Amino acid sequence: MNAPLPFPITDTVGAWVPHGKFTIAGQAGGPLSGLNFAAKDLFDVAGHPTGAGNPSWLATHPVPTQHSPVVAQLLAAGATLMGKVLTDELAYSLHGDNTHYGTPLNTRYPERVTGGSSSGSAAAVTAGLVDFALGTDTGGSTRVPASYCGLWGLRSTHGLVSNQGLVPLHPSFDTATWLAKDADVFERVGRVLLPASSYAPRRLLLPLDAWELADEIFTAPLQRARDALAHQLACVPEGLRIAGDTGLAAWRQTYVTAGAYEGWQVHGAWITQAQPVFSPAIAGRWKAASQVTAEAAAAARATQAQIRAHVHGLLGTDGLLLLPSAASLAPLRNAQAADVDAVRLRTMAITCIAGLCGLPQISLPVRTTGGDILGVSLLGPAGSDLALIQLARRLHAQIDPAQ
């Protein structure tokens, strides 16, 4: 195990958890030498507690004796770990606040949240305090903060990056991820964590029902991306309603039901025994999860299998989906709970596509004509992750060269 070093960062954005201020040097000479990173407080780091955003979890779980494989891989590649950063409680939120540890600062938009549940990761990267940060994405917890903070973020193909040594939420949907401000840094990390991909898209698919869920501010960036991709791929974009007559709201509910049941199977016994204090919104989700029946979960899984087959069939081996990364700019820090929830529901109807299907989706930052930055996403077949990063970089150079 690498020896700990003094912690050199002044946390100006409230990103680090109190037990997360430590440093572990990466091995010299690796492809990530000279870079530093933070880990969302769901990843195990040997000798340091994993808090999962909740003090009761911190108090009732042993200190890990091994690094998560992802942390170990990054250290071996030369990156230096700068401790652990905040997550929404057990990662069960997209908002980016924590009733126990606070709401980290989004330095891109100080009046707005970072988004969650990779809230501390997004805050630390946006502020330039680390070069990149590990996050997770179950229902959108990397894609949404990436969009809210103007960062690069990838929901990886489910199972492609190890989930060992990672506190789960919904294991069938959980993915290990990372966020970065700099595209080159983002790809360097991808080359360490991801296998090579021969994916070469030839068809561009536009899920118009997902586009319609996003605020109007997304329209022009999506159109710029559509035109650039059509030129790159030498194809005519194909508009479609990916969810057909069923609708993406129903797809979202399929995800919610299947995930909630699975989450309660994982954490229900601990919640019942430890009686942790959760924020009202997260407590409500766990209460609802406890009431999902095995029959309802089985029906949701059957529907998910149909959705998965449908989307995989649409993509084939050479299809590419272009869609918004979220439904809006980041909510205001003082937004009313009902307004936050309304945005969350629209956003999850967009993000559930990749989640239900286990597919990779990269969010790249795009500047609007008004000067705002938001996320536009590319979604590809399983295993296309590294090729998606490279495609997104070429797209970014065309549609947002000034950034």
Residues with active-site annotation: 40, 117, 141
The whole-angstrom separation of Cα 119 and Cα 122 is 5
The whole-angstrom separation of Cα 181 and Cα 373 is 12
For residue 176, what is the enclosing H or E element? strand 175-180
The whole-angstrom separation of Cα 252 and Cα 366 is 26
Q: Is 47 exposed, middle or buried (0-12, 13-18, 19+ CB in 10 A)?
A: middle
Q: Is the peptide bond before 117 cis (omega within 30 degrees of 0)?
A: yes
In the chain, the largest separation of any two C-alpha atoms, in whole Å, equals: 58
The whole-angstrom separation of Cα 263 and Cα 260 is 5
Strands of the 36-40 sheet, one edge to the other:
4-5, 23-24, 80-85, 36-40, 132-137, 175-180, 152-155, 361-367, 373-379, 319-324, 203-207, 238-240
